Amino acid sequence: MQIIDFDPRYADAFRTLNEAWITRYFAVEAKDREILGDPQGKIVDKGGFVFMVIQDGVAVGCVGLIPMVDGGFEISKMAVDEASHGRGYAKALMTACIDRARALGAPRLYLESGTPLTPALTLYRKFGFKDLEPERRPNSPYARADVWMELIL
């Protein structure tokens, strides 16, 4: 397994990995289409990062770090191919996000998720993410978002 920074040749994999989990539990929304259709322009070119898990030359996982106005990053579009679950790829992606954010001096990581995504929520909590109080939850572009979390770095 190798974790690499985004390479445009993996743009289709970024989209299809995310569409798989989104359509399994929810529906693809306008904000999804915007980001999944152009990860280079919507994440990387804006000062963010996309990490890809490569196994035997195939992209089997991904995650985005989207810069926030406070200097933090939003963790977005984390996905691991269903056939690759249980191999530690999501843990490796989360570690890459935290390590990069800390190296850049980010004050926090933020994410939005949904209650049906129990394995993801369990992972986030294992890494120390805490639920945001209702008064600190921003409006979300996602109808499916009902969990807001942050990790203070």
Helix (H), strand (E) counts: the chain:
5, 7
Residue 6 φ then ψ, to 5°: -55, 135
Number of structural domains the chain divides into: 1
Q: What is the full DSSP assignment across 41-59?
A: HHTGGGT-EEEEEEETTEE
What are residue 5's DSSP bridge partners?
51
Q: How far is CA 48 from CA 52, 80, 130, in A?
A: 14, 20, 22
For residue 98, the enclosing domain spans 2-152
CATH of the domain at 90: 3.40.630.30
pLDDT per residue over 12-42, tens digit each?
999 999 999 999 999 999 999 999 999 999 9
55: left (phi over 0), alpha (psi -120 to 50) or beta: beta
pLDDT at 74: 98
pLDDT per residue over 25-84, tens digit each?
999 999 999 999 999 999 999 999 999 999 999 999 999 999 999 999 999 999 999 999
pLDDT at 56: 95
Percent helix, strand and coil across the chain, each to the nearest 5: 40, 30, 30
pLDDT band for position 94 (cuts 50, 70, 90): very high
